[in-house]
Amino acid sequence: MQTKIAIIGVGLIGGSLALCFKGKPDITVVGYSHTREVMERIEARGVADEVTMSLEEAVHDADFIFLCVPVGILGRYLQQLSRLPLKPGCIITDVGSTKASIASAADVLSLHDVHFIGGHPMAGSERSGVEAASTLLFENAYYVLTPSQHATEEAYQSLEKLLAYTKSHVIRVEPRLHDDIVGAISHLPHIIAVALVNQVRAYNESNELYRQLAAGGFRDITRIASSAPDVWRDILLSNKEVLLRLLEDWRCHVDRFAEMLAEENGEGIERAFREAGAFRNELPERRKGAIQPLYDIYIDVPDVPGVIGQVATVLGVRQINLSNMQIIESREDVPGTLRLSFRDEKEMEKARNLLMKLEYSVYV
């Protein structure tokens, strides 16, 4: 029997889910887009078997409906679904980054013979749109499902079985607890990154050197400041109460640093770094397949033509399996840094030994 999956909103997350399901036995993936322009991009990227601009057609006879639109319009789509003829027993889920508001919005479906299960894959990127979609995005990431009175245990199990195609680890978390935790580990960091970039952007207006000198530390902590503004507006507004509380706590932490500086409390500063470092070093390995392969090495190379070819040739001759090569620093008149990513630790070690023979600095 054919399983029909409708993906509503085929961007980074919807497109990545579509790619995980497309081509699997007895599965048909139908993408829905609200504009012709986005529809054409979805078709060009080839992530779905069919693409339509009719919501009714997309969800007609669907076994699973994934709502992958920005958080602010999830409720509106649930309302629309409640007015459409859906297949009895159909499982509706979402991927929104907050979970409490959608859990209560799902009450609108209570009179229907359908299931609703809130969902949130803990994987993503600062990139957006279907062009950024990847089959590997969810690999090894946690995928949160929230307990719901609108779904049976059998429905959970069907969804979990389908999500096995994403190679993620499904975990169940209550919506409010989810929003507290994800507020701290995802939403607050996005606010801090944006505020920091805007602080430096203001200084840069009077002196371009700020931008020119911005190096690894600034880039590392601010990558997520490039995330999609509309998606993040909705996420932050829908977790407002939690974030206001977290920002109060954040102010206390910043004030504490200011005090330590004013008092020249070197011991306190050292302790803060020691405690933070110990906690951070204990974080689980980055759980992404596509964006963060497991074993990276870095190589500082001069900014001269042919250097990438030289590195590729050294590895190619020994048939070393490289997953990705990326220039992560490229500035005028200074060496650039190449990041070489390997799926296998032994391959990475072999590559490191070979590259050390070139006269560049190689480090992990």
Question: In terms of Cα–Cα distance, which of 107, 126, 58 is closest to 87?
Answer: 58
**Smallest separation (angstroms) from ligand PRE to the CB of 200:** 20
Member of 14, 118, 119, 124 binding ligand PRE (CB under 6 A): 124
**Smallest separation (angstroms) from ligand PRE to the CB of 84:** 27
**Residue 158 CB partners (closer than 8 Å, separation 6+):** 91
186 binds, among ligand NAD, ligand PRE, none (CB under 5 to 8 A by kind): ligand PRE
**Does 9 help bind ligand NAD (rule: CB under 6 A)?**
yes
**How many CB atoms neighbour CB 207 within 10 A?**
10
**Does 175 help bind ligand NAD (rule: CB under 6 A)?**
no
Question: In terms of Cα–Cα distance, which of 114, 58, 116 is closest to 89?
Answer: 114
Dist. CA 347–CA 303, nearest whole Å:
26
**Does 38 help bind ligand NAD (rule: CB under 6 A)?**
yes
Member of 228, 311, 338, 351 binding ligand NAD (CB under 6 A): 228
**Does 293 help bind ligand PRE (rule: CB under 6 A)?**
no
DSSP annotation of 343: S
**Smallest separation (angstroms) from ligand PRE to the CB of 41:** 21
- Considering only residues 90-149, where is the footprint of ligand NAD by CB under 6 A? 95-97, 120-121, 124-125, 128-129
Give whichever of 127 and 339 is closer to ligand NAD, judged by the CB atom: 127
**Residue 227 CB partners (closer than 8 Å, separation 6+):** 126, 128, 190
Piece of the chain touching ligand PRE by CB under 6 A; list 118-126, 146-154, 241-249, 350-358: 118-126
238 binds, among ligand PRE, ligand NAD, none (CB under 5 to 8 A by kind): none
Member of 71, 100, 225, 243 binding ligand NAD (CB under 6 A): 71
- Of how many residues is the chain composed? 364
**Does 122 help bind ligand PRE (rule: CB under 6 A)?**
yes
Q: DSSP secondary structure string, 103-160?
A: HHHGGGGTTSS-EEE-EEES---S--SGGG--TTTTTT-EEEE---TTS-HHHHHHHH
DSSP H or E stretch at residue 256: helix 240-262
- Considering only residues 199-228, where is the footprint of ligand PRE by CB under 6 A? 224, 227
Question: In terms of Cα–Cα distance, which of 63, 65, 100 is closest to 80?
Answer: 65
**Smallest separation (angstroms) from ligand PRE to the CB of 193:** 10
Question: In terms of Cα–Cα distance, which of 363, 241, 360, 268 is closest to 311?
Answer: 360
**Does 126 help bind ligand PRE (rule: CB under 6 A)?**
yes
For the record, the structure tokens of 332 come out as 């005028």
**Does 139 help bind ligand PRE (rule: CB under 6 A)?**
no
**Does 69 help bind ligand NAD (rule: CB under 6 A)?**
yes
Member of 7, 11, 75, 187 binding ligand NAD (CB under 6 A): 11
DSSP annotation of 71: G
Question: In terms of Cα–Cα distance, which of 127, 359, 336, 341 is closest to 216?
Answer: 336
Helix (H, G, I), strand (E, B) or coil at 181: helix
Dist. CA 131–CA 37, nearest whole Å:
13
224 binds, among ligand PRE, ligand NAD, none (CB under 5 to 8 A by kind): ligand PRE
Give whichever of 121 and 175 is closer to ligand NAD, judged by the CB atom: 121
**Does 134 help bind ligand PRE (rule: CB under 6 A)?**
no
Q: By the criterion CB under 6 A, which residues form the site for ligand PRE?
A: 97, 122-126, 186, 224, 227
Q: By the criterion CB under 6 A, which residues form the site for ligand NAD?
A: 9-14, 34, 38, 68-71, 73, 95-97, 120-121, 124-125, 128-129, 228, 231, 235
